[in-house]
Amino acid sequence: MNRKELDPDSSPAAKFGAQLRELREARGWTQDHLATLTGYSSVHVSAIETGRKPPTERFSRRLDEAFETPGQFEREWRNAGRRVLLEGFAEYLRSEADAVALRLFEINIIPSLFQTPAYARAYQEARVRRGRATQQQADERLALLLHRQQRLNRQPAPRVHAVIDEGCLHRAIGGRDVMMEQLLHLEELAVQPQIVVQVSPFSLGEDRPFGLPITLLTMPNRTIVGYGETQRRGFLERDPETLAEWTGEYDQLQVEALSRAASREFIRRVRRGFENE
């Protein structure tokens, strides 16, 4: 039988697969046996071991059940996702997971926590076509994003206030059908009690406070943590003076943006514009 040699350093998925194969063989298990224990096919197990397919959270949990290794494979899955992220973002994720409230401002794309799978996939696939990411990295980023979005459904759910620049609504990520679905999803989110969505219209011009996306997190102890990004890296901001400035500018942004009701109607009009194309 041909045995493919693994290079665990080639990608996070390859490292996960190499660790899986090592532990499986140490137990004396075949791929067929592991497939039976996890409820997946042996073809799927083989694809994970050789790095052809990235692991998912569900598969990682099934591995922990089969090997009786509580949390080991699930932690490795999470770490694999973080290794393909922008520098500094992994630190932000730890704070985001604990935050009781999030204030978001986005100028280029729909905020990631609000993206549909099709929209997020189209955005990541474009990075692959431009040579900025591998397919494995794109798949891993998407899996991590879907996991982050699940936290919006936890109880108690964090409160999310998002101000979205008008350009995010018009930028056709994934084409007409994907945008129609995305904008409808945004409308549905906007009526949830713990979520506030406002549109910052182009008419604000130079009066719009921020030139780059920012995030403000309220932690359980009521302290504020900020997050910003440059082209190359992300960074957490804890300086009180800077955070006071960001908070003041966000308050101004909320006042200047369209109201909740007007924002929902604005999003609806943009969606209907896509429908009529």
Q: What is the CATH number of the domain that holds 149?
A: 3.30.870
Cα(75)–Cα(94) distance, integer angstroms: 13
Ordered alpha helix ranges (H), the chain: 12-26, 31-38, 42-49, 57-67, 72-83, 89-98, 117-129, 135-150, 166-170, 176-189, 240-256, 260-275
Per-residue pLDDT band for 11 (boundaries 50, 70, 90) equals low
Per-residue pLDDT band for 188 (boundaries 50, 70, 90) equals very high
pTM attached to this predicted model? 0.69
Phi, psi of 275 (to 5 degrees): -60, -35
Q: Are residues 172 and 235 in the same domain?
A: yes
Query: Do 109 and 51 belong together in one domain?
Result: no
> What pLDDT was estimated at residue 173?
96
- Where does a domain end: 50, 65, 82? 82
Query: Is residue 128 domain-resident?
Result: yes
What's the confidence (pLDDT) of residue 82? 52
Q: Report pLDDT for 58.
A: 84
* pLDDT value at 127 more than 90: no
Do residues 38 and 66 make contact, with C-beta atoms less than 8 angstroms apart? yes
Measured between alpha carbons, how far is 254 from 221 in angstroms, rounded to an integer?
24
**What element of type H or E holds 199?**
strand 195-200
Q: What is the mean pLDDT of residues 88-111?
A: 87
User: What dihedral do alpha carbons 172, 174, 175, 181 form, nearest 10°?
Assistant: -90
pLDDT category, 234, cuts 50, 70, 90?
Answer: confident
**Is 88 a residue whose pLDDT tops 90?**
no
Domain of residue 226: give its range: 86-275
Q: What is the pLDDT of residue 242?
A: 92
Asked if the model's pLDDT at residue 1 lies above 50, the reply is no
Contact 19, 74 (CB under 8 A): no
In angstroms and rounded to an integer, the radius of gyration of the C-alpha atoms of the chain is 21
Mean pLDDT of the chain: 87
